[in-house]
Structure 1
C-alpha cells in the first residue's frame, strides 16, 4: 500500500507539525506499507527537511502556507503519486493564517473524494467549540456569526472524506447530531514515543514554569509571568524562572517581542524561540511545571500528552473542554481560574507545598501517556483504511 500524509512536518513551524511527525513515523515498517509520502508545506529552504529524512518515508514539499492554490497543488501531486489512501492531519488553520487560504485548503478532503482516493481526516478542532474572538478570527459578533457560518460550510467539505476522526467525544456528538454525519468516529490522539523517565530533582530550590506552543491569541504568557512574580514574593528562598517556549501565533506577529518589552525588568524570563523536534525533550525535562495559559481551547492538547510523556505535572485553566479532555484521557493537574495570575500562583503553590501530590500527578500523567502509543494508533488507521479499500472492490 502506498500511503500519503497531508500534514505540516518539522522543521516547518505550522501548527500540528510535531503531531504529523510522530503519527507518520508510527507507520514505518507496518505490514503491507510499501511507501509513505509526506505532502507538506514549502520552506524558504526545503533542504532543511533532510534533517528529518527517514528510510521508508519520502518528504515532498508541495504546497505553500497561506497560498490560495494549495488544493490545486495537492491535487496535482496526488494524481502524480496515485497513493492508495490519504491521511489528512488538520485543524482549521493548517493551510494559512489568512482566512481565505485557510478555508480553501480545507477543500482538500472533498478534492480527494473527487479523485476517488480513500481518505481519513484526523480533525483536531471544530468551530462550534472554539471562541473565535480569542483565536484572532473575529473581533465582533457579526464577524463571529459570519465565520461560524463559513466554518459550518467548511466542515461539510471536510466531512466529504471517507472517515473523519476527532479526538474528543463531544465533537463526535456535535458532528453526528448537527451535520447528520455517519462517517465520524472517536479517534484517540495517541501518545508520542515515551522517552526515558527523567524525574524532577528532589530538594532543588529552582522552580521552572514552562509554557509551550504558539502565543498571542488564546495562549498568552502574561498570566504565567505575573504568577511567577507573586510566587517569588511568597517563596523568597526559591529561584523561579518562566520559560516561554515557542513563537508568535501567525495571527499575532510581534507578540513575543511585546512580552520582552513588558517584562524587560525581569531577568528570569526565558524566550526560547522555535524549538526543533530534537530539542523538545530538553525543554520539558528542564521544567518543573508545565503551564497551560489558555483562555479557550481548540481541541485535544498535544502539549498535555507531551507533558505526560516527560512525567511533568500540569497547571491547567478551568475550561470545560480542557477539563473534559484531561479527565477522559486519564491525566491530572492543579487547576486555576482562567487568566487569573493569583489563582495560577495558588495552584503552583499547592504543589510546591505538597511535593507528594506533585509526584502523584507526575506518575499519573506518565501512566496516561502510556495509554495508547502511536504505533497502536497506526493500526487503527490501517484497519479503517483496509475496510475502505475492501468496500471499493
Structure 2
C-alpha cells in the first residue's frame, strides 16, 4: 500500500509533531510505502497574517497536486483539526490537489464540530463537500464522533484512533515506579501549553488547599503560554513561591525527566483537544493521574484503575490529589495498570491499527 501523509511542520504546536513522525516510521517498518509532505504549519511566535496563510495553503495544495500527478497513491492521510480555519483549508486543499483515485483519510487532532450546528451558507457548503469527498475520518473520542454525525457525516466513515507515544518505548519489561509514603514530599506535575482552558490556575489554587492541610509537595509547571503571567501572579498572591516552580519551555528530553521523577500528574483541562499527548505520556510511564472526565480521558481511562477524575474546582482537584497521597496502595495499583495500558500506544501497535483502517477504506 502506498500512502501520502500530510505532516505537521517541525515548528508546529501540540501533539501531532510528537506523535506523527514515529508513527510514520512504524508504518514503514511494517512494510507500507509512505511518502511525506508538510501539510500543517506552526504559528509559534505570532499568528500568521491572512494573506500569508492563503499563500501557504495554495502552495501546499499545488505541491500535493504535483506529487499526485507524478505518482500513484492508494491513500492520502491528512493530519488536521476541525474548526473554521481548518474547514476552509481542508476543503480548498482537497479540491485543488485533485486526489484522483486516491482515497482521502483525515485524522482529526481536536475538533469543534459542535460549533457548526447552525452553520451559515458557506460553512454548510464546505462541510457538505467534505462529507462527499472524504473517505474516512479518524477521531479520538465518541463525543467528537457524535458532533460530526449531528452535521450529517456518514457514521460508516468514522474510525476511533489513538496517537503514538514513545516516552516509554525503552522501559524494561519489569519496570515499576516506586511509591512514596504519605508523609514524604510529593512532586506534582503539570505539563501543557499555558492557556486558560488547561486548568493551570485551578491547579495552583488547589495547591493552596494542600498547604493548608499540611501536605508536603512541590508543583512543577512545565511549559509556557498566555496564562503564565496570571499564574505567576496567583502564586505570589497565595504565597506559594516556595511550593510552585515554572520551568518555561524546556527541551523534550528535560520534559521527559519530569515525567519520570514526578509522583502525581495533575491535568484538570476543559480544552476541546481530542487526545492530549501529555496526559497519555503520564499514563504510559505509570504516573498516578488526576484529570477531568472529558473527551479522550472519558473514553480511554477508568477510575480508579487509571486515574481519579476531578472537576475544575480547586477544592475537588485538591481532594483527589490528597486521596492519592494518602493511599499508597491505590497509587501502586494505578501505576501498574497505566504501565500495562501504555504499551498499546507504542508506535508499532498504533501503526498496525491504522494499516487495518487504511485497508478497510481502500477496499
TM-score range, shorter chain: 0.7 to 0.9
2:258 aligned with 1:273: no
What SS does the aligned partner of 1:270 have? strand
1:121 aligned partner: 106
Please give the residue correspondences for 1:314-393 in structure 2 after superposition, counting only pairs within 5 Å: 314-319=289-294, 321=295, 324-327=298-301, 332-338=306-312, 340-371=313-344, 373-386=346-359, 388-389=361-362
Distance 1:335 1:145 in 2: 29
8 A Cα contact 2:165 2:346, kept in partner: yes
Distance 1:246 1:150 in 2: 37
Distance 1:88 1:305 in 2: 22
Distance 2:202 2:256 in 1: 24
Cα–Cα, structure 1 residues 388 and 335, in superposed 2: closer, same or farther, change >3 Å?
closer
Q: CA RMSD in A?
A: 3.5
Aligned residues: 343
2:47 aligned partner: none
8 A Cα contact 2:283 2:306, kept in partner: no
1:309 aligned partner: 284
8 A Cα contact 1:209 1:224, kept in partner: no
Distance 2:218 2:342 in 1: 26
2:180 aligned with 1:202: yes
Distance 1:38 1:201 in 2: 44
| Structure 1: gaps (5+ residues) | 46-63, 94-98, 133-143, 249-253
Per-residue displacement from partner, 1:283-338 (whole Å, max 9, x unpaired)?
A: 2112211111213543233333211111111102244x455314479962112222
Query: TM-score scaled by structure 2?
Result: 0.79
What SS does the aligned partner of 2:248 have? coil
Cα–Cα, structure 1 residues 103 and 169, in superposed 2: closer, same or farther, change >3 Å?
closer
2:220 aligned with 1:234: no
More contact order relative to length (CA 8 Å, sep ≥ 6): 2
1:92 aligned partner: 82
More displaced stretch, 278-287 vs 198-207: 198-207
More displaced stretch, 150-159 vs 264-273: 150-159
2:95 aligned with 1:111: yes
Distance 1:300 1:312 in 2: 17
How far 1:198 sits from its partner (Å)? Answer: 5.9
Query: TM-score scaled by structure 1?
Result: 0.74
Distance 1:150 1:178 in 2: 14
8 A Cα contact 1:4 1:39, kept in partner: no
8 A Cα contact 1:336 1:347, kept in partner: yes
2:22 aligned with 1:5: no
Distance 1:70 1:89 in 2: 16
8 A Cα contact 1:109 1:161, kept in partner: no
1:140 aligned partner: none
2:67 aligned partner: 81
Cα–Cα, structure 1 residues 245 and 25, in superposed 2: closer, same or farther, change >3 Å?
farther
Per-residue displacement from partner, 1:229-267 (whole Å, max 9, x unpaired)?
A: 21122125x2x222222232xxxxx32133223324513
8 A Cα contact 1:172 1:184, kept in partner: no
**Structure number having the greater helix percentage:** 2
Distance 2:251 2:129 in 1: 33
8 A Cα contact 2:20 2:164, kept in partner: no
2:220 aligned partner: 243
Please give the residue correspondences for 1:181-192 in structure 2 after superposition, counting only pairs within 5 Å: 181-192=154-165
| Structure 2: gaps (5+ residues) | 45-49
1:68 aligned partner: 54
